[in-house]
Structure 1
Amino acid sequence: MIKNLMHDPIFLAGKSEAATKEDLQIAQDLIDTLITHRDSCVGMAANMIGVKKRIIAFLDESGRTPTYTVMLNPEIIKKDGAYSTEESCLSLLGGLRPCKRHKSIKVKYQTLEFHTRIKTYTGWTAQIIQHEIDHCGGILI
């Protein structure tokens, strides 16, 4: 189900709780909402739709065909190649903001079936994932 976007910076600055099997509908709502905003958004965290759970969804361009991917309880376990950039956020007004990102990240996460996976991402997809994991930690750019 498509959800309204959360714009309250106090809510968005709160840390998210671990996702459980009871939260799978939230993951679907997140994908539905992200796809609805695909013209202006490439990633979302559950707090952007008003739910403080560690769930992210993003446009994964790391393979041959771009696909929408959901990660439950993602955490970055390795990062390399720090650089400075600017990002915007659909939940925050005011345009681009400076931030620090890494060119390569290794992420540990759970699939929708709650299987643990570890995968390395680079480039634009890595930047998107870092932004959304920051959301889970209550970090606003």
Structure 2
Amino acid sequence: MPILRQIAQLGQPVLRGVGAAVADPADPAVQALIDDMLVTVADANGVGIAAPQVFEPLSLFIVASHPNPRYPHAPQMEPTAMINPEIVWMSDEKEKGWEGCLSIPGLRGPVPRHRRIGVRYLTRSGELREEEYDGFLARVFQHEFDHVRGMVFIDRVEDTRELMTEKEYVRLMPG
């Protein structure tokens, strides 16, 4: 039975480490972790969560885009576990977009990200997938990919004076 995991907050060393490759996606412990991450990200109204955010230093994350109070315009997709993810290529074109993070509650900032990316990962059943993402899904993938490399979104904010609280973000941002 999946359990709701505690989410590591900024300052926890696990958020700054590089996630180890998952040796065997079929390992029952990996499958249980994925189930736990799926319920944890849903409970937190997140659009993604990485294993380091639940205190597991592994190269694994969930992309679970869906419209919700934190991201009302997010596209709907089936929550997907991405094991040992890689970015194969990135567009030259970048765009800034507002991001928040379950590990840094109450803070938003504009982050430049590649508009389009090509990615490769293993599914929870061990199948190798290659996908192309653009826009919001490309942003979520890059955000979670940073987590398994020991980075958080505020590391990529170009001007810290642009950071704002979640409350001000909701008040000031249209729609």
Same fold, TM-score > 0.5, yes or no: yes
Q: Does the C-alpha gap of structure 1 residues 66 and 93 become closer, same or farther in structure 2, counting only changes over 3 Å?
A: closer
Runs of 4+ in structure 1 over 3 Å off: none
Once the two structures are TM-superposed, the CA of residue 11 in structure 1 deviates from its matched residue by 2.1
Partner of 2:40: 33
User: Higher relative CO (CA 8 A, sep ≥ 6), structure 1 or 2?
Assistant: 1
SS of equivalent residue, structure 1 residue 67: coil
Partner of 2:19: 16
* Kept in 2: contact 1:71–1:112 (CA 8 A): yes
**Partner Cα separation in structure 1 for residue 151 and residue 10 of structure 2:** 13
**Partner Cα separation in structure 1 for residue 135 and residue 95 of structure 2:** 11
Once the two structures are TM-superposed, the CA of residue 57 in structure 1 deviates from its matched residue by 0.5
SS of equivalent residue, structure 2 residue 64: strand
Gaps of 5+ in 2: 67-74, 154-175
User: Alignment length, in residue pairs?
Assistant: 137
Identity %, equivalent residues = 27
* Kept in 2: contact 1:56–1:70 (CA 8 A): yes
Letter in 2 for 1:71: M
* Kept in 2: contact 1:4–1:49 (CA 8 A): yes
* Kept in 1: contact 2:14–2:56 (CA 8 A): no
Are 2:73 and 1:68 equivalent residues in the alignment? no
Are 2:89 and 1:78 equivalent residues in the alignment? yes
Letter in 1 for 2:102: L
Q: Does the C-alpha gap of structure 1 residues 35 and 79 become closer, same or farther in structure 2, counting only changes over 3 Å?
A: same
Matches within 5 A, 1:1-141: 1-9=3-11, 10-21=13-24, 22=27, 23-38=30-45, 41-60=46-65, 66-80=77-91, 81-93=93-105, 95-141=107-153
CA RMSD of aligned residues (A): 1.8
Gaps of 5+ in 1: none
Structure 1 or 2, whichever has the larger Rg, is 2
**TM-score (ref. length: structure 1):** 0.88
SS of equivalent residue, structure 2 residue 115: strand
**Partner Cα separation in structure 2 for residue 88 and residue 8 of structure 1:** 12
More strand by share: 1
